């Protein structure tokens, strides 16, 4: 009887030894991930180089300084702003240029949509002038905008900063000026400084 039990234990041991060894999937995946891991970038081994690269990318660019105030563009696409149909204006939004009496910054809502005014992305960095002095220089400065297709021209006064560069537009004008020019948003116009004595409106 004891011999039978011993022989059965021996058979069980032989069977277990013939089984395929169990595989630990997690450890295999971990090993393969380690061997297949991509090489680190060169600057990872050099932390100083990495810091310099990040600093250069995040450092703000110095503004362009003009010798004297210049038009941001002499030709470009036109936009329209101001008036009751302009949904991008809040009641308390003020003009970027001090166009009011004694250099007061008026509210955009005070603009008459039938009037003739404009906005461009003026460069406030000019040699020997402070940004505030540049704003006063541009305030109510007269510009002439000409429809590149039909030759119609209007004289408008500078009152605000814009349009935003993300729009792809170079100048924004009043609804009245756009109507007089016969242009819609995205049309192209020529832009120049006008005679200071020229009356506002269609030429």
Model confidence pLDDT, tens digit, residues 105-118: 999 888 999 999 99
Whether this model's pTM surpasses 0.75: no
Answer for the pair 179, 152: CB distance below 8 angstroms, yes or no.
no
Answer for the pair 139, 158: CB distance below 8 angstroms, yes or no.
yes
Measured between its terminal Cα atoms, the distance across the chain in Å is: 124
Structure tokens at 119: 């906005």
CA angle 76, 108, 140 (to 5 degrees): 60
Model confidence pLDDT, tens digit, residues 131-142: 999 999 999 999
Please name each of the domains of the chain with its CATH number: 2-58 (no CATH), 75-202 (2.40.40.10)
Q: Look at strands 171-173 and 75-80 and give their pairing.
A: parallel
Distances in whole angstroms, Cα of residue 121 to Cα of each of 118, 163, 199: 11, 7, 23
Task: Kindly state the average pLDDT of the residues 28-53.
Answer: 47
Written as one string, the DSSP assignment of 107-134 is: BGGGS-TTS-EEEE-----BTTB-HHHH
- Non-local (6+) Cβ contacts of 160 within 8 A are 81, 95, 96, 97, 108, 117, 118, 119, 172
Distances in whole angstroms, Cα of residue 170 to Cα of each of 70, 137, 185, 191: 14, 20, 11, 10
pLDDT at 5: 46
**Percent of the chain having pLDDT more than 70?**
71
Of the given ranges (74-88, 119-133, 158-172), which has the lowest mean pLDDT?
74-88
């Amino acid at each position: 009887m004891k011999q039978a039990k011993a022989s059965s234990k021996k058979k069980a041991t032989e069977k277990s030894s013939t089984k395929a060894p169990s595989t630990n999937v997690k450890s295999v995946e971990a090993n393969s991930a380690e061997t297949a891991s991509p090489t680190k970038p060169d600057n990872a081994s050099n932390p100083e180089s990495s810091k310099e690269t990040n600093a250069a990318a995040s450092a703000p660019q110095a503004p362009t300084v003009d010798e004297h105030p210049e038009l941001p563009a002499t030709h470009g696409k036109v936009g329209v702003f101001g008036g009751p149909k302009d949904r991008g204006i809040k009641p308390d939004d003020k003009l970027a240029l001090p166009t009011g009496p004694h250099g007061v910054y008026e509210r955009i809502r005070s603009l008459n949509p039938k009037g003739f005014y404009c906005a461009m992305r003026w460069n406030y960095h000019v040699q020997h002038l402070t940004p505030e002095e540049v704003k006063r220089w541009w305030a109510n400065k007269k510009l002439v905008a000409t429809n590149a297709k039909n030759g119609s021209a209007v004289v408008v006064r500078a009152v605000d900063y814009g349009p935003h560069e993300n729009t792809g537009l170079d100048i924004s004008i009043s609804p009245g000026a756009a109507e007089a020019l016969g242009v819609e948003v995205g049309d192209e116009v020529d832009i120049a400084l006008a005679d200071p004595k020229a009356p506002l409106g269609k030429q």
